[in-house]
Structure 1
Amino acid sequence: MVIKGEYVNIKGSKIHYLEIDKESSKDTVILLHGKRYNAYDWINSGIAENLSNQGFKVICFEFPGYGSSEECDLEKEEVLLEFVKKLNISSFHLVAPSFSGEISIKFALKYGDMLKSLTIVDSINVDKYKEKLNEIYVKTLIVWGKKDEIAPYEFAEILKNNIKNSTLFVFENLGHTCYFDDAKKFSEVLINFIRA
């Protein structure tokens, strides 16, 4: 597995990402990160490699002010838009845990036609978007740790009940970082969903 650390310039800010690219890869999966994490956590957990081994091009993106990315004045969903434009990625699968889950909801509401699929994991602030979630049409996987003390399980139910084309997978005994706590199962569920 070859991991390349790259930078792209967005509005004068250097934005960092990691890329695992196989020549045969077709679909791109972009992995966002939670507030206490960065791009390397996807590598260390094995999730990025699991996706790469299944033939996906994997990009681990770091938001402005996180990891090695510089601060940027744009809204975070707009930074993501500029990022995919710079890399000439017209459509992709988006995976977004915790605080990036909220960003992915905003992205899906504005630019949902760019998404092949959306995976929201233990997102914060879901209740803010309850009235708008029915505007998300992309196929969506909702993954939740039922013992999450940061983003309550009722947020998962709000997402499931309001996003039409959605599937819910629950880790009964895990909390907010369920995707890292059982990275093998998470990878399996994610890959099956993307491929379905």
Structure 2
Amino acid sequence: MYFVEKEEEIAGKKVFYIKQPVGEKDIIFMHGKSYTANDWLKLNDTLIGLYNLKYRFYAFDFPGFGKSKPNDIEPVDFIQAFIEYKKLDNFVLFGASMSGGFALKYAHAHPKQVRAIVAAAPAWIEKEIESFKNLNIPTLLLWGANDNKVNPKIGTRLKEVMPNATLHTFRGLSHPFYFENEVLFDQYFFDFLKSIDEK
């Protein structure tokens, strides 16, 4: 398993991204407001597990974050620009916090491109929850029960609205639960990926 770092012009500005290019399926990891693409490399066991499940891994810095240049493009439009640039289709979209909200909004706008969604405590969607009621893509919603940044009750509301969503809340963990307990996170994450792979 190896990773390649790239800086290329996407949507008119320089964008930094990381990829693990070996596999048969694609997954995109999107960072939260306090993180960058490089932070995902801390999840060593998660990345090994993805490799073993034959997933190609992509993670980019959003414009204005990390090594990517600022751009006034809307986040959902930027995600689409990256996907078009890399010629991706039928991928799993993983978003955490800020980008968890972007993942849901992107899938709502482009439902035929997304195979499945993993949204870790998706932020900035409180007023838009009802808009996801027709989003029928397999979705795993994950939350730390002690999250003091994005209320776990939002996860319950999303689960009630979305017809193909599963929700799990991790007791004793907070907002970045995937960094706090990678083993527990991997258990539910990989069970979900295996379930969609079987369909």
**Structure 2 gap segments, 5+ residues each:** none
Equivalent residues of 1:5, 1:17 under 8 A apart:
yes
The 5 Å alignment of 1:3-152 reads 3-22=3-22, 25-46=23-44, 47-152=46-151
Find the residue that maps to 1:161 and give its secondary structure: helix
Instruction: State the 1:173 CA deviation.
Output: 0.8
Q: How far does the alpha carbon of each residue in 1:30-76 deviate from its partner, in whole angstroms, 9 at most, with x for none?
A: 00001111111111122333312322101112100111111112101
**Structure 1 gap segments, 5+ residues each:** none
Instruction: State the 1:9 CA deviation.
Output: 1.5
Distance (whole Å) between structure 2 residues aligned to residue 130 and residue 141 of structure 1 = 15
Runs of 4+ in 1 over 2 A off after TM superposition: 47-50
Distance (whole Å) between structure 2 residues aligned to residue 76 and residue 49 of structure 1 = 28
Counting matched residue pairs gives 194
Equivalent residues of 1:77, 1:106 under 8 A apart:
yes
Using structure 1 for the length normalisation, give the TM-score.
0.94
The letter of the residue matching 2:117 is L
Distance (whole Å) between structure 2 residues aligned to residue 152 and residue 14 of structure 1 = 34
Equivalent residues of 1:31, 1:94 under 8 A apart:
yes
Task: Give the percent of matched residue pairs that are identical in Structure 1 and Structure 2.
Answer: 26
